[in-house]
Amino acid sequence: MHKSVLLNECIDNLNLKPNSIIVDCTLGYAGHSSEILKKIKNGYLYAFDQDNEAIKFSTEKLLNISKNFEIINSNFVNIKEELNKRNVTHVDGILYDLGVSSPQLDEDYRGFSFHQNARLDMRMNQENDLDAYYVVNNYPYEKLVDIFYKYGEEKYASSIAKGIIKNRPITTTLELVDVIKENVPEKYKRDKHPARKVFQAIRIEVNDELNVFEKSLKDALELINIGGRICVITFHSLEDKICKDVFKSVSEIDSRIKKLPIIPDEYLPKFKVIKTIQPSEIELNENNRARSAKLRIIERVG
């Protein structure tokens, strides 16, 4: 089962009130959503996911708490459009707990895990056309190297891409793992799993994860009420950098304006970065998934 990461830290920092309107962009198995719903007795929760199994499970779980929620079966890149369709233009809190859930990793047919054999898939939305099989078996060498570098920060991108092209067609996750192992030095296999960076890169490419997150986060800033907060849990440096840069862009005064003796109100930042939290030792000992997690929090102040 999925163990929620930084759960109490998110709940404490969303500043929940009984009548808050909250958006959980990554419902998953409703760990965060359940606690949110318990605290917003007269409020409302909109929760996004595009995984039918997670939606089915979480609908039942949330119905045991209250009826004040709607699950939106859509990519969170559509946050603004989907809320506007429901005549919602402003909300009091937004949460992102990025990545895949433990059940998604464990289900052998989803192809996310380098530990389990499965057809190369990795689609979060199983109705999408692009899957890992297509990327691995059709992308040219240059494009493979590019995504392995950019999305995986994989230093052996070039030799792995060459190995992939030589061994095509590659149908399953474990075939891909073997090709990766054959194309990296022995010492690279000792510390961490040698396939983890390439798997991360392919997953990001298949789901266009970084672009989707950046667009959604920028839209989320427009949706938040004064006093409202956005909490983002990231699991790798690329997501975290996007979050940090977007937050910085709306919370700092332009360096040219900063030099003025009096700063006009319209130039004062509309957001304040509250803090960044990493999981406690206790959580790290209990939940391996929390290892690389980071929670960033921003509040609308003007």
Ligand X SMILES: C[S@@+](CC[C@H](N)C(=O)[O-])C[C@H]1O[C@@H](n2cnc3c(N)ncnc32)[C@H](O)[C@@H]1O
Residues that bind ligand X (CB under 6 A): 2, 4, 26, 28-32, 48-51, 54, 75-77, 97, 99-101, 124, 212
Smaller CB separation from ligand X, 51 or 92: 51
Comparing CA positions, the residue from 185, 255, 245, 259 lying closest to residue 214 is 245
Give the nearer residue to ligand X in terms of CB position, either 82 or 92.
82
Burial class (CB in 10 A: 0-12, 13-18, 19+), 101: buried
**Which helix (DSSP H) or strand (DSSP E) does residue 22 occupy?**
strand 21-24
Could you give the CA distance from residue 78 to residue 93 in angstroms, rounded to a whole number?
17
Phi-psi label, residue 45: left if phi above 0, alpha if psi -120 to 50, beta otherwise: beta
CB of 233 to ligand X, least distance (A): 8
C-alpha distances (whole Å) from 27 to each of 46, 51, 57, 200, 204 are 9, 9, 10, 21, 19
Minimum CB distance to ligand X, residue 74 (Å): 7
Q: For residue 160, give the 3-state DSSP assignment.
A: helix
Least distance in angstroms from the C-beta of 295 to ligand X: 12
Which residues are CB-neighbours of 291 under 8 A, at least 6 positions away? 279, 284
CB 285 → ligand X: shortest distance, Å?
19
Closest CA to 122 of 114, 130, 131: 131
Assigned token pair, 31: 């760990």
Nearer to ligand X, 132 or 161 (CB): 132
Q: Toward ligand X, which CB reaches closer, 105 or 174?
A: 105
Tell me whether residue 92 or residue 97 sits nearer to ligand X (CB atom): 97
CB of 53 to ligand X, least distance (A): 9
Residue 153: which residues within 8 A CB-CB, separation 6 or more? 197, 237, 238
Using the minimum distance from each CB to ligand X, give the nearer residue, 164 or 223: 223
Tell me the closest approach of the beta carbon of residue 290 to ligand X, in angstroms. Answer: 11
